[in-house]
């Protein structure tokens, strides 16, 4: 998969995307990731990307000219252009799986008071929000999307079954069941006996029950 990111803060991406699974995916050629500075598509000496909103109001809006030029320069026939902003549809594991099926993504990150509306109307194929809160810019949401999507690409996790029974997965419409490792008894806290008896049908039944119970207690909204 190829992912391009258009941002005013390229340096923010250097640490998180150069570590762990994302780094390994990039080195293995499973993810082609490029970070682009939006100001490279401006034409004035101040590299202006924002201006005051018509009609008045606080803050500044991102201008359409550099955004249109940048997207038109980077976009390919197979590219899906996604805006990151608080007004987008909620980013979920299901959306991550949907995006993992794409060949090319172009993530456009917002800043200031957001985008000129013509950017939404004329450029975006989709608009995503990672939650009902506001951040200083779209760099962190873009990293969240990249991480969630990349780990779903074939070969990235090593064992593709690793993402099958996670929280919010298609076969587990809620939270993941509790899991344990060695030692079997740690400070008096013991691993449930069912997990150590080797009876796979009983284990699967216990896990399904526990997943439903945990979801009911912590995220009842997912059961509706």
Per-residue pLDDT tens digits for 34-55: 999 999 999 999 999 999 999 9
pLDDT tens digits, 14-29? 999 999 999 999 999 9
pLDDT tens digits, 97-145? 999 999 999 999 999 889 999 999 999 999 999 999 999 999 999 999 9
Q: Across all residues in the chain, what is the average pLDDT?
A: 93
| Local confidence band at 174 (pLDDT 50, 70, 90 cut-offs) | confident
CA distances 38 to 8, 139, 172, 180, 187, Å, are 6, 12, 40, 46, 54
> What is the CATH T-level fold of the domain 164-223, as seen in this structure?
1.10.1270
pLDDT of residue 224: 77
Strand-strand pairing, 61-62 and 126-129 = unpaired
Query: Spelled out in words, what is the top-level CATH class assigned to the domain 2-150?
Result: alpha beta
* Overall average pLDDT of the 76-80 stretch: 97
* Overall average pLDDT of the 59-87 stretch: 96
Cβ count near 222 (within 10 Å): 13
Q: Is pLDDT above 60 for 59?
A: yes
Going from N- to C-terminal start, the domains of the chain cover 2-150, 164-223
* Overall average pLDDT of the 165-185 stretch: 80
* Residue 168 falls in which region: left (phi positive, over 0), alpha (psi -120 to 50) or beta: left
| Local confidence band at 158 (pLDDT 50, 70, 90 cut-offs) | confident
Do residues 70 and 106 make contact, with C-beta atoms less than 8 angstroms apart?
A: no
pLDDT of residue 36: 98
pTM of the model: 0.87
């Amino acid at each position: 998969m190829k992912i391009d990111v258009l941002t005013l803060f390229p340096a923010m991406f250097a640490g998180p995307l150069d570590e762990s699974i994302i780094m390994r995916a990039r080195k293995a050629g499973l993810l082609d990731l490029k970070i682009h500075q939006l100001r490279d598509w401006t034409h004035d000496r101040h590299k202006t990307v924002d201006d005051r909103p018509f009609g008045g109001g606080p803050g500044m809006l991102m201008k359409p000219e550099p955004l249109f030029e940048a997207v038109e320069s980077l976009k390919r026939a197979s590219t899906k252009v996604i805006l990151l902003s608080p007004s987008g549809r909620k980013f979920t594991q299901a959306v991550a799986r949907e995006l993992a099926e794409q060949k090319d993504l172009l993530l456009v990150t917002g800043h200031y008071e957001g985008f000129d509306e013509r950017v939404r109307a004329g450029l975006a194929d989709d608009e995503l929000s990672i939650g009902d809160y506001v951040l200083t810019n779209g760099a962190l949401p873009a990293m969240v999307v990249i991480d969630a999507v990349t780990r779903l690409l074939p070969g990235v996790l090593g064992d593709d079954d690793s993402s099958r029974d996670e929280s919010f997965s298609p076969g587990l419409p809620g939270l993941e069941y509790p899991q344990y490792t060695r030692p079997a008894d740690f400070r008096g806290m013991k691993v449930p006996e069912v997990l150590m008896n080797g009876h796979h049908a009983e284990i699967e039944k216990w896990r399904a029950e526990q997943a439903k119970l945990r979801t009911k207690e912590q995220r009842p909204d997912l059961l509706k």
